[in-house]
């Protein structure tokens, strides 16, 4: 979905769902805080009744990948796409609105979205990325489609939504992981990896640290929860040591099993989360696009507060009984010599 700030000219390309109403009307979700919401407010402040809009279907896979990423305000996603593709995005001006779209797109819908609440229509229920039909139908803005342009024999592209893991879970996992790690590196030291795992649609966030000082675990969790990314990701955070592969769920589960003392290492925090989380009943929710809930921190690191002890070879935590990586690599390289195929 392509929109533009009416005063600054900042162009935003976002991934926002639309429900088909009739021949030339679709719904449009405008989430609080999203960049399209900022453009919406800018047009409203100018007294406009509608906002020009273009919807692109089908182009380089970089289009949905970047469109669903969280870029800073004022940044045009076309620039990010060009940087990642290492070549500019060839754009063409729309036929009926002052917006630009990829010249080789399969299908482009041009039109306007109504800004007055009276023009909204009921939309939903939708299958959500969490894997549930989690929220009630609600009034949403309406796009009036005035023009459709398309290639000869266009390919209409879509994706399945619902129980993880689908395409959007994989794309957003990469985006959320990178953005979260970048944010944490700006706020603190010692974060060595972040995985917004696609298996739970980013609700579970695994953070790897060097576990070098008291309070580092809490700092990592609260720093992330204080970022805008946390509106949709990281409801539950598990922090682990550097020896735990955060992309291997079995290793994370092992850390949780034997490095966590529940009375010491499990903590609850109040916080907001997206409406697709069904752990809070609809009747108990505060808000619609985000609502107040409970976040969870699990400290699955080797407890830094233990004293060193002779029983653990003068270490603070029990040593791991596993051959070193070089030994394991050597053994694996010799399977055939041992007669094992």
Looking at residue 209, its pLDDT comes to 98
Q: What is the mean pLDDT of residues 229-258?
A: 95
Q: What are phi and psi of 29, to 5 degrees?
A: -85, 130
Residue 251 predicted with pLDDT over 80: yes
pLDDT digits (tens, 9 = 90+) for 81-105: 999 999 999 999 999 999 999 999 9
- Kindly indicate the confidence band of residue 74, based on its pLDDT and cuts at 50, 70 and 90: very high
Residue 48 predicted with pLDDT over 70: yes
Q: What share of the chain is helix, strand, coil (3-state, %, to 5)?
A: 30, 25, 45
Looking at residue 38, its pLDDT comes to 95
Q: Following DSSP, what letter does each residue of 85-104 receive, concatenated?
A: HTSPPPEEE-SSSS-EEETT
Query: How far, in Å, are 44, 134, 139, 145 from residue 118 at the CA level?
Result: 14, 25, 9, 18
Give percent of the chain above pLDDT 90. Answer: 74
- CB neighbour class for 165 (10 Å; exposed up to 12, middle 13-18, buried from 19): middle
Residue 275 in tokens = 């409406």
Helix (H) or strand (E) holding 328: helix 325-333
Cα(43)–Cα(314) distance, rounded to whole angstroms? 66
- List strands edge to edge, sheet with 291-299: 191-196, 204-209, 236-240, 291-299, 266-273
Cα(328)–Cα(332) distance, rounded to whole angstroms? 6
Looking at residue 37, its pLDDT comes to 94
- What is the average pLDDT score of the chain? 93
């Amino acid at each position: 979905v392509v929109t533009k700030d009416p005063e600054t000219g900042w162009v935003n390309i976002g991934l926002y769902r639309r429900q088909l109403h009739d021949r030339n009307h679709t719904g449009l979700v405008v989430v609080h805080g999203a960049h399209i919401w900022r453009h919406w407010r800018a047009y409203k402040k100018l007294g406009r009744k509608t906002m020009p809009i273009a919807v692109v279907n089908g182009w380089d896979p970089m289009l949905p990948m970047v469109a669903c990423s969280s870029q800073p305000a004022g940044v045009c996603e076309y620039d990010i796409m060009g940087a990642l593709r290492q070549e500019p995005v060839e754009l063409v001006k729309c036929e009926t609105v002052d917006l630009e779209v990829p010249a080789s797109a399969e299908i482009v819908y041009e039109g306007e979205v109504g800004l007055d609440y009276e023009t909204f229509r009921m939309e939903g229920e939708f299958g959500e990325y969490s894997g549930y039909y989690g929220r009630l139908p609600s009034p949403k803005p309406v796009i009036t489609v005035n023009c459709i342009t398309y290639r000869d024999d266009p390919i209409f592209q879509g994706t399945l939504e619902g129980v993880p893991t689908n395409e959007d879970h994989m794309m957003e996992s990469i985006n959320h992981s990178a953005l979260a790690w970048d944010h944490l590196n700006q706020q603190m030291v010692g974060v060595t990896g972040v995985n917004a795992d696609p298996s739970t649609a980013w609700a579970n966030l695994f953070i790897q640290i060097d576990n070098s000082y008291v309070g580092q675990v809490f700092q990592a969790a609260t720093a992330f929860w204080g970022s805008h990314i946390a509106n949709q990701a990281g409801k539950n955070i598990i922090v682990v040591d550097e020896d735990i592969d955060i992309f291997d769920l079995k290793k994370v589960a092992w850390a949780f099993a034997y490095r966590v003392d529940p009375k010491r290492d499990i903590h609850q925090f109040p916080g907001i989360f997206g409406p697709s989380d069904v752990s809070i009943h609809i009747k108990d929710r505060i808000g619609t696009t985000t609502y107040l809930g409970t976040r969870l921190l699990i400290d699955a690191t080797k407890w830094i507060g233990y004293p060193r002890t002779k029983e653990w070879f003068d270490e603070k935590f029990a040593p791991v009984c596993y051959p070193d990586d070089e030994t394991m690599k050597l053994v694996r390289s010799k399977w055939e010599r041992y007669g094992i195929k």
